[in-house]
Each structure stands twice: as structure tokens, then as C-alpha cells.
Amino acid sequence: MPDSTPRLGFDTRSVHAGEAPDPSTGAHGVPMYQNATYAFRSYDQLEASRAGRAPHFLYAPRGNPTVRSLELKLADLEGTEAAVATASGMAAVAATLLHLLGNGGHVVASADLYEQTALFLTEDLPSLGGAATLVDAGDLDAVTAAIGPATRAVYVEPFSNPRLRVADVPALAAVAHRHDLPLVVDNTFLSPALLRPVEHGADLVIHSATKYLSGHGQVQGGVVCGRREAVAGIGRTLLRLGGAMSPFAAWMLLAGVKTLPLRMARHGANADHLARLLAAHRAVCHVDYPGLPDHPGHATARRLVGAGEDRFGGMLSFSLRGGSAGIGPFLDALKLCTLAVSLGECGTLIWPFACTDLIRLSVGIEDPADLATDLLRGLDRVPLPVAAD
Ligand SMILES: Cc1ncc(COP(=O)(O)O)c(C=O)c1O
């Protein structure tokens, strides 16, 4: 009989999915199982486990109860059959691509990707027998043209790191599926609270869990969500790469994910406020924030995440008028925004990219007025070019 129970809401599932009181002790909240191996009561039990009749944990990198709870929670939130947790976001990226592209496979990837992902595609993949073509993911003809007989996947970030270019996930999924290819989406910037890529046609969803899923900058982790068979294959590659998530990271992430929807709404509302403030300021040259109506990807972004002003995530990039001369004085005047790389934490992080004018802001959940005051204090220090008469 079909289950007629109404599906619980996203906020409820963020708290409860994948969790139950510990069966042996009744402990409320998933305990951290910090052990490497699992004992069998008898040879019969081992045989039953090997035959798949009575599943049993075996060895920590192949599965751990704390990590499994997190995997169940994240698969539930992304709306996928399964998930595999990884030691970092890059472990998730590498295991997924190596699994898909083994034996001389090729991937068509966006040219706008997190730097280490792009470097993996261009520098590591070729030496492992794979190949990548990087294209403007906004140009569907270029994506189609780059697909060849060896292509095994299309890979994008919906809101790219760090330039916040918007990828049209449903359109890219249609192109990929016309060629029988999976669309792989790195959803780190938005999280399932704002975008569930499989609802828009994606096949595999990757996260650096180090960022919004954790929310507190205390652990490194990653996850890949998708169909059971694909996730199992990625899990096997991950095992050989030694990229399993630690129980401690999973335990911290189980706590972090409970507040994900609350945090994402506040990150988004604060980012919207600061993007508008920056865009209107004379010391700012341009702002990349998909929530701004004049952002080139705004209409596509609205189709992906909805129309609310707190729906566009907490990330924005901008540059100062007059180029790099103002970056030092601006950053050194800030008292609340922390000069640090990474993103997705409760506290606002600001990062200038080397050799460009680009400054990335990971907007935190502080009082928006305090963040505005801090940025305005910095902007006051930016030397403005003298206007020509
Ligand atoms: C979009 C994106 N994907 C993947 C990663 C890699 O994650 P990790 O640092 O957890 O390996 C990052 C890290 O910044 C990222 O921003």
C-alpha cells in the first residue's frame, strides 16, 4: 500500500531525518561512534552479513553509525535515494569525477568553478587518464558542442565560486540527458535549504559540508547525493582513495544541519541587505549577487531558488572603484568582518582574491546594521579616483 503519510516539512526533516534515539541506550541525539571496527557475535552472523541477509557494520571507512545518520539526513534533505559522506568537499569532487571518468572519460565542466575543482580537472585528471573541457555554462550551444563520444558527465556550480555566475540547471540537465549523461551539481553555495538540484533535473549533488552544512567552521567534510547505485560506486572509489568522513565530523555536522534552514534565511536576508548597500555606494565598482535585479543571472536564479529576498544565499563578490589601491585600506578598517578564506560560517568572512580586484564576502548571521556599519567604515577609507573635468 502506498504510504499516505504527508511528507514532513524541510525544517522538521533538518532536525529529525536520519536520527532516532540510540537503540541500545536510548541516548537522545546520535552518539559519536568513535571506533574502527565492529565485532560479530558468530561466524553465522558474519556470513549473513556477507550474504546481505543481515546488514552489519564492518570497518569504519566502509560505514559508521554516526556517519550513516548524517548520510540519511542529507539524502533526505536533497531528495535523493542515497548519500555518501566524505572527508572534505574535494574528496567528494575527486571521488565523483574519478568514478564517472575512469577509463579515459571526459567531462564538460563550467569554466566558473571553485579553483581547486578547476585545477583537479585541468591538472590532475589528465594524468589519471581523464579529460575535461571547460566552457561557459551559460552558453548551451557551447556545452552541447563540447560533448563528444568519450563524455561521461556535465559538471556545474549553480551559483559559482567566487563570481556568482548562475547556471541554468534545468536547461543543462536537458542537454546532458539528451546525450544520456548525468548532470553533476556542486550545491555548496546554496545548500538544500535554498536549492535541491535533483528537483531541477540534476543527477548527482556534491557539497563541501565544511561550509553551510556545518555552519560553524569547526569541521571539514563533504557529501555526494544521488541514486543508490551511483552513490555506491562513488563510495567504493572513495574507500580506495581513503576519503571517508570521520565520526567526529559527522557528529558535528548532525548538529550543524539542524539549524541549516534558519541560518540560510538569515544569511540570505543579510546578504541581500549588504549587496544593495554596496551596489549603491560610490566607492564600489560592481557587485555580483544574483539577488540583485540587474544581475545577469537574476531571472534564472529566481527560477531556481524562488523570489524571496532571503532566497539567494549568503555569498556575494564585489570590486572597489579605483582597482586594487583601495583593498588594503578597506580591509584594514573592518572590525567585524574577519579577513579569512572559506565561507558559510555564522560570522562574516571577507577574502580578497590574489591578482584580481575581486573581494568575496561570506555574509554571516550577525545584526545587519552592525555589518553595514562595518562595511561603511571600510568603504570610507577607499581612496576615490579624482573625477576628470
Ligand atoms: C564550491 C566549492 N566546492 C568544493 C569545495 C571544496 O571543499 P573542501 O574545502 O571542504 O575540500 C569548496 C571549498 O571552498 C567550494 O567552495
* Nearest of 152, 159, 155, 175 to residue 109 by alpha carbon: 155
Kindly give the number of the ligand 1 atom that is closest to the alpha carbon of 161: 1
Residue 18 has what pLDDT?
A: 97
Contact between residue 13 and residue 76 where contact means Cβ atoms under 8 Å apart: yes
- Cα 115 to averaged position of ligand 1 atoms, centre (Å): 9
* pLDDT, position 1: 46
CA 158 vs CA 147, 189, 303: distances in Å: 20, 8, 12
Dig out the grid coordinates for 295 from the structure: 544581475
Q: From the alpha carbon of 113, which atom of ligand 1 is closest?
A: 1
- Report CA(203)–ligand 1 centroid distance (Å): 19
Q: Give 36's DSSP letter.
A: S
Which residue type sits at 224? V
What lines the ligand 1 site, CB under 6 Å? Answer: 88-90, 93, 114, 116-117, 157, 161, 186, 188, 208, 210, 220, 222
The C-alpha cell at 302 is 529566481
* Global pTM value: 0.97
The Cα–Cα gap between 196 and 192 comes to 5
Q: Residue 103 has what pLDDT?
A: 83
Q: What single letter denotes the amino acid at residue 240?
A: R
Cα of 208 from ligand 1 centre, angstroms:
5
| Cβ atoms of 281 and 322 closer than 8 Å | no
Nearest residue by C-alpha to atom 14 in ligand 1: 342
Domain boundaries, the chain: 10-258, 260-379
Would you tell me how many other CB atoms lie within 10 Å of the CB of residue 1?
3
* CATH architecture for the domain at 10-258: 3-Layer(aba) Sandwich (3.40)
d(CA 83, CA 43): 30
* pLDDT value at residue 323: 87
Tell me which residues of the chain have a pLDDT lower than 70: 1-4, 387-389
Residue 184 in grid coordinates: 553533476
DSSP collapsed to 3 states, 193-241: CCCCHHHHCCCEEEEECCCCCCCCCCCCCEEEEECHHHHHHHHHHHHHH
Beta strands, E only, the chain: 82-86, 106-110, 131-135, 151-156, 183-186, 204-208, 222-226, 284-288, 315-320, 338-339, 349-352, 359-362
> What residues have CB less than 8 Å from 306, skipping those under 6 apart?
none
**Predicted pLDDT at 322:** 87
- Cα–ligand 1 centroid distance for 381 (angstroms): 32
For a substitution probing ligand 1, which of 96, 114, 207 has the most ligand atoms within 8 Å of its CB?
Answer: 114
Fold of 260-379: Aspartate Aminotransferase, domain 1 (3.90.1150)
